[in-house]
Structure 1
Amino acid sequence: MGRDGAPSLSHAKWSSEIAAGGPDHTPVIGWHKFVKRSKLESSCYLVDGCVTFVCGIIDLNGNDRVPVPPTDLVDHLGHLLECTDGSDVSFSVGGETFCAHRAILAARSLVFKTQLFGSMADAQMDRITLHDVQPAAFRILLRFLYTDALPSDTELVKDLESSSATDLLQHLLAAADMYQLDRLKLMCAQKLWDRVSPETVAAMLFCAEMHNCPELKKRCIDFFVEEKNIRSVALTEGYLRLMQGFPSVIEEIRARLVNALKSSTSDYSAEDMLFRVQRDETVLQRYALKEFRSCKRLQGRLATVVACTRSIDLLLDRAAGWEVAFPVSAETFRAHRAVVTSPVF
């Protein structure tokens, strides 16, 4: 195809010949020498190093074939999950109930097989309570077990309440790791990577390290050590959490950072940039410590208010010291002047 998008008629060829050219000597249709490389490279068909070939295939036996519709097994299994016909187990997750079929779950996950058909107590229970997974994540996980697919990005947003799509995908990746669903875990990793940014990469790296996803971990570290991302990532709360939870990952990042900067054309030396990152880490730790102390002071004040409230409640229950009475309808309420005249009341 030429640069104008129109097919080339001068190079069009027709073939009905069969040549044994496959890697396993299977019959293939085509030509061993379609066009010379030198001629192709100097032609107008080379665009950004790529050539587009337009192929048309005519099936001469097409009229004799019996039309077979595409498989609808996934649709039927998805409907089975929704209508709960024949379900023999239910899961209570965060106050929500999910019905399912033991045989399907066991066939898809070795963890579910052990849980539902092994020697665990859950094998004898019709209702199982799960504490380590969120309802939205478990709903998507169940649908994946039945349909082998994730919802689209539009449908994914519908499953959200207060959390973001990134948070939901991290919870779903954790659930996939828990039930040893490697395909689902990698699908979540890809969707997370599609949403990566300097603000989210540290949290994604924490999730990847926590739930054994080296594919996502490698990409997050590669993103981090890019010079344009280094300092902005080092000042996020996710990076602080990463420092506290996985110091070994921080050391790995620093080592990669030094190697990357040594081979770059940056105005900063590797030692200078590493010093800047470590300084940013110190600032972040001091900020976290300040916030922690502020939180502790707030908790102390709240405890004092709660203690005062309890004391006032006790004072109201006691008959001693009453100085004023309020007749309301047929009842009389006694109280203390100092309390009812305070700014609180």
Structure 2
Amino acid sequence: MLYSLSRPPARPRLTRSVGPFFFFLLFRCPFHARNSSPPQLTRAPAAVPAVFRAELFAAIKEGRSTNDPVRIDAMEPQVFKALLCFVYTDSLTEMKQEEEATMCQHLLVAADTYDMERLKLICEHKLCKHIDVGTVANILAIAEAHRCHVLRSACFAFLGRKANLTAVMDSDGFEHLNASCPSLVKELLAMHSMT
């Protein structure tokens, strides 16, 4: 089933008051985010990402206790908190406007890692609104790495204007894009040589 980015499929919300999430019990197994202390949690998640389930079953298969913490070191605590908030409430936490683009980039990566397609689509949609000369190179690299075709197309549309591409080519972000995705840079330059 294909979903529109403008209206992701809705799921019923459990609650808005979910509290802090740096510690979370899932089938009685605690998850700790890096540099966090374990606050209390009283609600069950609306949907358990398959990767979390796989981690739990791997721990059981390896003979580890389900009471042993499963460490998640690949993301910042505030990103993990937002990810868990989404798992529990099916909505994103409130973000300051100036932090939204960065947080959505991190959440998109986490959503792809944990196979949370709805969260990935929501982040992709929000990032489309943050494309500008200062962000487009990084957003395009993320879109390419995580197979976000709509976001990639939005970046290409922005860079399709010669003035935008010229401004971006003078930025550090373009150097990063060239180093991480040289084929994208070639595609962009070929697109402009045709016009």
TM-score bracket relative to the smaller structure:
0.7 to 0.9
Deviations 1:273-319 (A, max 9, x none): xxxxxxxxxxxxxxxxxxxxxxxxxxxxxxxxxxxxxxxxxxxxxxx
Equivalent residue for 1:146?
88
Q: Given the alignment of the two structures, is residue 251 of structure 1 paired with residue 186 of structure 2, yes or no?
A: yes
Larger RCO (alpha carbons 8 Å, 6+ apart): 2
How many residue pairs end up in the alignment? Answer: 178
Instruction: Name the CA distance, whole Å, in 1 between partners of 2:184 and 2:63.
Output: 38
Q: Which amino acid aligns with 2:19?
A: E
Equivalent residue for 1:115?
55
Alpha-carbon RMSD across the aligned residues, in angstroms, is 3.0
Q: Which structure 1 segments of 5+ residues have no match?
A: 1-71, 262-345
The correspondence for 1:232, drawn from 167, 178, 181, is 167
CA contact (8 A) 1:137 1:172 kept: yes
Equivalent residue for 1:216?
151
Q: What stretches of structure 1 move > 3 A for 4+ residues in a row?
A: 97-105, 118-126
Instruction: Name the CA distance, whole Å, in 2 between partners of 1:175 and 1:93.
Output: 13
Q: Which runs of structure 2 are paired with 1:88-99 in the superposition (5 Å)?
A: 88-97=28-37
Q: Given the alignment of the two structures, is residue 130 of structure 1 paired with residue 67 of structure 2, yes or no?
A: no
Q: Which structure 2 segments of 5+ residues have no match?
A: 1-11
- Using the aligned pairs only, state the percent identity: 30
How far the C-alpha of 1:193 sits from its partner, in A, is 1.4
Q: Given the alignment of the two structures, is residue 82 of structure 1 paired with residue 19 of structure 2, yes or no?
A: yes
Query: Structure 1 stretch 250-259 or stretch 238-247: which is displaced more?
Result: 250-259
Equivalent residue for 2:95?
156
Instruction: Name the CA distance, whole Å, in 1 between partners of 2:63 and 2:156.
Output: 41
Equivalent residue for 1:201?
136
Length-normalised TM-score, structure 2 = 0.78
Instruction: Name the CA distance, whole Å, in 1 between partners of 2:79 and 2:183.
Output: 29
Structure ID, larger Rg = 1
Length-normalised TM-score, structure 1 = 0.46
Residues 1:217 and 1:123: Cα distance change in structure 2 (over 3 Å): farther
